[in-house]
């Protein structure tokens, strides 16, 4: 029996090593285990097979255009990293040279700058004719600028433009004239930029540059998924479930345990197919969205909030207002949509966003990822893809991609990679985390690490993940715990400011955690997988001697029961530096005593999510908050004024949304370290604090402060203020003249300030409106007349 087992094992090993050798031999002719994504719908599909050498080719006439309009456009392009083809070294003649034809054909975008004398050049007419030919043959993107010329003159060949055209045609062949006439007619029909319609040429040039930049971004094929293992097999399994040729509306579930790769599969599908739908939205990690971004007082409010978030994303309307749950159905029932709802864990979430297939137009697809198969069944979703664990070969490839940056082990690491893969099991998350841990290690370091991995590993993924945590340095461990317990889903720049006093080289430490696959940074936001978050919270319950039985002696408090115990009994100690509490964990009310925080002298981060102001009660006030607070976040703060001994000396962020405050505090407080103040929907707030020392304040949010009549004159001292949001401050009458001192101010929102009639002059503001604008189309005013408030 033993010999048979040995022979079987040996045969399996030989077979797998044979696979590796074959894989290495054929790596130059790789199997299609990943799918390239087609470019955005902004560029026709045929462009994907065309070879582009240049980014933008300009067609223009005259040195005056080159020195004037084109030079300004070139400068704006340089700011945005756009390369404009230059023909300075090409000698011009009667017809365009083969070199120039090739430049046109190899440019992603062609811009035709039509001026009054453009048609006086046969060279230019040949250029625009060739550009239109390229557009029709292989989908080149063409943009037209009517620079001081009317589009109708181009179309009808009238005016100065028509006169120049007829002079050029004199003596030319009928074929040349016919070709130029036909191509100009097509150019005139293209949507373009008409300079006569713009009051400010600089603004128009900025708009052109922004549009070109977006076109270049959207026309670049994504390679984000090129190295994903097993994705072709997943697509083959999902193809009959998706049934994209069918006109029916279909909901598809992707089901499996946490860490198996459900979100990656869904994101792959979204990136591959979203261009084929009228509207699309990827609602990321809805479970986390429910628990961390908004706390609602009841189920209906939670549904309304979710639908608001969903509609905001799918129709790209950030300031949308959803008054009832019928909005999604009403707006989308005739639209073909692709929707991904990631990490659903409650039927209520589906009811809010995609309750019925009748909510969406023919051919729509709604993809739901979840760990709960029962939830899918309860919603009537019968098209379900169960994500299985990868095979041993695929598991090895996943591990090797993280450890070596390729799907096979490096030379002399084959046996070690196989052994580690076997020890880790087949959960993709564990394979990626541990692969990142081993990346860059020498063979000797691998050999030394594997015995410890062998002895410390059990069937629990937590042990696998903790192995990577244990390998971190002291400060890196500290940052990991801060993120797991307090700062997951926070902006990285904000967290760097919170921790500036504590950790040296914070950016470098974030980089270490990213390399180890312990966090990711997505568009500036910190993302930690929920399993890793759970690991971090479990770690803080222990020290070197074992489990810390008294919660008040732990570094972070995140468990609702522990927090209630510490606050009720007043057992918090100097060890506590951070608290993150969600009142939804409470079954009833919690009375917080005056001395609840008295022992927590080192408390720096206090985040309380509360769905209503009477859920957490402060019958005796709050007089013992730590003087070292750097972050205070408390939704529905119940007091009318912060305590007299509240210390702002080290405060970086104050976030008190939906509070009962009538004034912030008595007297003046030092605000030198304050970067952000968010008092959203402080309906009773009548008075703001003195901002004379708030010289580092960057963001001030006062939306919905309906009792606020004025801003203090001292706001002018906040000379680093960049964002000032005053939406729906319905009692606000005027802004102080000192606001003109805020030279770094970039964004001011005043929508709904119905009584605001007087604005200071000579201030650069951006007004938000209820209408949907692209970023480059936002209204920018350099000078306000005194009556501008009435026009709002």
Contact 751, 775 (CB under 8 A): no
Report all structural domains of the chain as residue ranges with CATH numbers, in order of start. 45-218 (3.40.50.10140), 231-386 (3.40.50.300)
Q: Report the C-alpha gap between 420 and 402 in whole angstroms.
A: 13
Listed in sequence order, the residues at least 6 apart from 749 whose beta carbon sits closer than 8 Å to its beta carbon are: 703, 724, 725, 726, 727, 766, 767, 768
Q: What is the structure's pLDDT at 468?
A: 76
Nearest to 33 by CA among 221, 227, 269, 266: 227
Query: How many CA atoms are closer than 13 Å to the CA of 350, on its beta-carbon side?
Result: 24
Long-range interactions of 13-22: CB distance < 8 A, separation 24+: 13/418, 16/392, 16/393, 16/396, 16/418, 17/414, 19/393, 20/408, 20/409, 20/414
Q: What is the structure's pLDDT at 629?
A: 95
Q: What are phi and psi of 207, to 5 degrees?
A: -65, -45
How far does Cα 724 stand from its chain's mean position? Answer: 22
Work out the number of other CB atoms within 10 angstroms of the CB of residue 442.
8
Instruction: Provide the phi-psi class of 159: left if phi over 0, else alpha when psi is between -120 and 50, else beta.
Output: left
Contact 578, 488 (CB under 8 A): no
Listed in sequence order, the residues at least 6 apart from 314 whose beta carbon sits closer than 8 Å to its beta carbon are: 279, 280, 281, 332, 337, 339
Which structure tokens are listed for 719? 């000379």
Q: What are phi and psi of 385, to 5 degrees?
A: -105, 115
Contact 122, 95 (CB under 8 A): yes
Active-site annotation, residues: 127
Give the mean pLDDT per block of 10 residues along the chain (792 residues). 40 43 37 29 41 84 85 90 77 67 90 92 91 90 92 92 93 92 92 90 92 83 69 89 94 88 91 90 81 61 89 86 91 95 91 95 96 89 91 91 92 91 81 88 91 63 74 90 94 93 81 83 86 85 73 91 87 93 77 84 93 70 87 92 90 94 92 96 94 96 94 94 93 89 88 81 48 35 32 30
Q: What is the structure's pLDDT at 29?
A: 35
Contact 727, 703 (CB under 8 A): yes
How far does Cα 649 stand from its chain's mean position? Answer: 32
Q: What are phi and psi of 339, to 5 degrees?
A: -125, 130
DSSP 690: P
Which structure tokens are listed for 346? 């409650």
Nearest to 484 by CA among 510, 519, 437: 519
Cα-based distances in Å from 466 to 56, 546, 579, 787: 51, 15, 23, 63
pTM summary value: 0.61
Sheet hosting strand 653-655, strand order edge to edge: 556-557, 578-582, 605-609, 631-634, 653-655, 676-678, 699-701, 723-725, 747-749
Residue 779 in 3-state DSSP?
A: strand
Q: What is the structure's pLDDT at 358?
A: 95
- Residue carrying structure tokens 């995609």: 354
Listed in sequence order, the residues at least 6 apart from 507 whose beta carbon sits closer than 8 Å to its beta carbon are: 496
DSSP 484: I
Q: Report the C-alpha gap between 339 and 472 in whole angstroms.
A: 39
Listed in sequence order, the residues at least 6 apart from 425 whose beta carbon sits closer than 8 Å to its beta carbon are: 395, 459, 461, 464
Helix 262-273 vs helix 231-242: crossing angle, to nearest 10: 70
Nearest to 726 by CA among 664, 680, 694, 757: 680
Q: What is the structure's pLDDT at 2?
A: 42
Q: Report the C-alpha gap between 736 and 714 in whole angstroms.
A: 9
Nearest to 361 by CA among 317, 396, 316, 314: 314
What does the DSSP assignment read for 178-246?
Answer: HHHHHHHHHHHHS-EEEGGG-S-HHHHHHHHHHHHHHHHHHTSPP-TTTT-TTHHHHHHHHHHHH-TT-
Q: What is the structure's pLDDT at 93?
A: 52
How far does Cα 190 stand from its chain's mean position? Answer: 33
Listed in sequence order, the residues at least 6 apart from 130 whose beta carbon sits closer than 8 Å to its beta carbon are: 96, 101, 104, 105
Listed in sequence order, the residues at least 6 apart from 738 whose beta carbon sits closer than 8 Å to its beta carbon are: 713, 714, 715, 716, 717
Q: Do you know the residue count of the chain?
A: 792
Q: What is the structure's pLDDT at 317?
A: 82
Q: What is the structure's pLDDT at 612?
A: 67
Q: Report the C-alpha gap between 690 and 406 in whole angstroms.
A: 58
Contact 753, 730 (CB under 8 A): yes
Work out the number of other CB atoms within 10 angstroms of the CB of residue 625.
19
Listed in sequence order, the residues at least 6 apart from 97 whose beta carbon sits closer than 8 Å to its beta carbon are: 90, 91
Helix, strand, coil percentages for the chain (3-state, nearest 5): 45, 15, 45
Range 677-687 burial, b when 16+ CB lie within 10 A, else e: bbbbbbeebee
CA angle 628, 632, 633 (to 5 degrees): 165
Cα-based distances in Å from 190 to 145, 218, 638, 652: 10, 20, 59, 51
Cα-based distances in Å from 333 to 222, 292, 298, 437: 30, 30, 27, 48
Which structure tokens are listed for 497? 């400011």
Q: What is the structure's pLDDT at 342?
A: 93
What does the DSSP assignment read for 639-687?
Answer: -SS--TT---TT-SEEE-TT---SBS-SS----TT--EEE-TT-TT--B
Q: What are phi and psi of 122, to 5 degrees?
A: -65, -30
């Amino acid at each position: 029996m033993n010999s048979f087992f040995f022979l079987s094992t040996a045969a399996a090993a030989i077979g797998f090593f044979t696979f590796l050798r074959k894989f290495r031999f054929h790596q130059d002719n790789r199997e299609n285990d990943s799918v390239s994504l087609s470019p955005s719908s902004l560029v026709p599909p045929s462009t994907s097979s065309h070879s582009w050498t240049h980014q933008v080719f300009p067609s223009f006439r005259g040195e005056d255009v080159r020195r004037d309009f084109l030079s300004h456009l070139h400068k704006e392009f340089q700011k945005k990293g756009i390369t404009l083809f230059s023909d300075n070294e090409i000698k011009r003649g009667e017809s365009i040279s083969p070199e120039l034809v090739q430049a046109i054909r190899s440019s992603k975008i062609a811009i035709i700058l039509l001026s009054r004398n453009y048609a006086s050049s046969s060279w230019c007419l040949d250029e625009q004719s060739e550009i239109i030919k390229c557009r029709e043959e292989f989908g080149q993107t063409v943009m037209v600028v009517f620079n001081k010329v009317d589009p109708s003159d181009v179309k009808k060949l009238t005016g100065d433009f028509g006169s120049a055209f007829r002079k050029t045609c004199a003596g030319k062949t009928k074929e040349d004239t016919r070709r130029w006439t036909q191509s100009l007619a097509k150019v005139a029909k293209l949507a373009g930029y008409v300079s006569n319609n713009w009051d400010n040429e600089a603004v128009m040039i900025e708009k052109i540059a922004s549009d070109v930049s977006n076109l270049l971004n959207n026309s670049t094929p994504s390679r984000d998924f090129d190295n994903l293992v097993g994705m072709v097999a997943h697509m083959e399994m999902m193809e009959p479930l998706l049934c994209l040729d069918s006109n029916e509306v279909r909901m598809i579930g992707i089901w499996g345990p946490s860490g198996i790769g459900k979100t990656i599969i869904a994101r792959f599908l979204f990136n591959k197919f979203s261009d084929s739908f009228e509207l699309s939205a990827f609602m990321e990690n809805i479970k986390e969205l429910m628990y961390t971004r908004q706390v609602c007082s009841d189920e209906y409010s939670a549904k309304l909030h979710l639908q608001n978030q969903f509609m905001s994303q799918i129709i790209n309307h950030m300031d949308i207002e959803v008054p009832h749950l019928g909005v999604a159905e009403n707006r989308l029932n005739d639209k073909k949509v692709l929707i991904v709802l990631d990490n659903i864990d409650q039927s209520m979430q589906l009811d809010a966003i995609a309750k019925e297939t009748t909510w969406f137009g023919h051919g729509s697809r709604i993809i739901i990822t979840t760990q709960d198969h029962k939830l899918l069944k309860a919603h009537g979703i019968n098209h379900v893809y169960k994500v299985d664990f990868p095979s041993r070969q695929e598991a090895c490839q996943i591990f090797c991609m993280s450890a070596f940056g390729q799907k096979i082990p490096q030379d002399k690491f084959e046996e070690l990679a196989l052994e580690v893969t076997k020890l880790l099991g087949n959960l993709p998350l564990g394979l990626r985390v541990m692969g990142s841990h081993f990346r860059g290690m020498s063979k000797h370091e691998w050999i030394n690490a594997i015995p410890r991995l062998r002895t410390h590993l059990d069937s629990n993924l937590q042990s696998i993940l903790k192995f990577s945590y244990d390998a971190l340095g002291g400060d890196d461990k500290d940052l990991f715990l801060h993120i797991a317990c307090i700062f997951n889903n926070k902006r990285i720049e904000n967290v760097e400011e919170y921790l500036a006093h504590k950790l040296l080289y914070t950016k470098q430490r974030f980089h270490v955690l990213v390399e180890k696959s312990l966090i990711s940074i997505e568009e500036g936001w910190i993302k930690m997988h929920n399993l890793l978050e759970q690991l971090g919270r479990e770690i803080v319950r222990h020290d070197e001697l074992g489990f810390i039985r008294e919660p008040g002696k732990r570094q972070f408090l995140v468990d609702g029961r522990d927090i209630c115990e510490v606050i009720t009994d007043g057992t918090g100690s100097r060890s506590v530096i951070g608290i993150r509490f969600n009142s939804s964990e409470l079954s009833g009310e919690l009375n917080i005593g005056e001395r609840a925080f008295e022992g927590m002298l080192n408390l720096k981060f206090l985040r309380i999510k509360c769905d209503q102001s009477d859920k957490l009660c402060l019958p005796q006030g709050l007089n013992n908050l730590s003087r070292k607070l750097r972050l205070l976040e408390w939704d529905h703060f119940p007091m009318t004024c912060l305590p007299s001994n509240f210390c702002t000396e080290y405060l970086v962020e104050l976030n008190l949304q939906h509070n009962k405050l009538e004034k912030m505090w008595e007297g003046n407080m030092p605000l030198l370290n304050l970067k952000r103040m968010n008092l959203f929907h402080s309906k009773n707030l009548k008075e703001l604090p003195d901002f004379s020392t708030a010289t580092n304040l960057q963001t001030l949010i006062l939306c919905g402060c309906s009792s606020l009549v004025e801003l203090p004159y001292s706001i002018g001292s906040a000379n680093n203020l960049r964002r000032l949001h005053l939406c729906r401050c319905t009692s606000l009458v005027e802004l102080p003249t000192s606001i003109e001192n805020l030279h770094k101010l970039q964004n001011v929102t005043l929508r709904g300030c119905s009584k605001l009639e007087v604005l200071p002059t000579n201030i650069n503001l951006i007004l938000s409106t209820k209408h949907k604008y692209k970023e480059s189309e936002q209204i920018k005013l350099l000078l306000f007349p005194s009556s501008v408030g009435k026009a709002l």
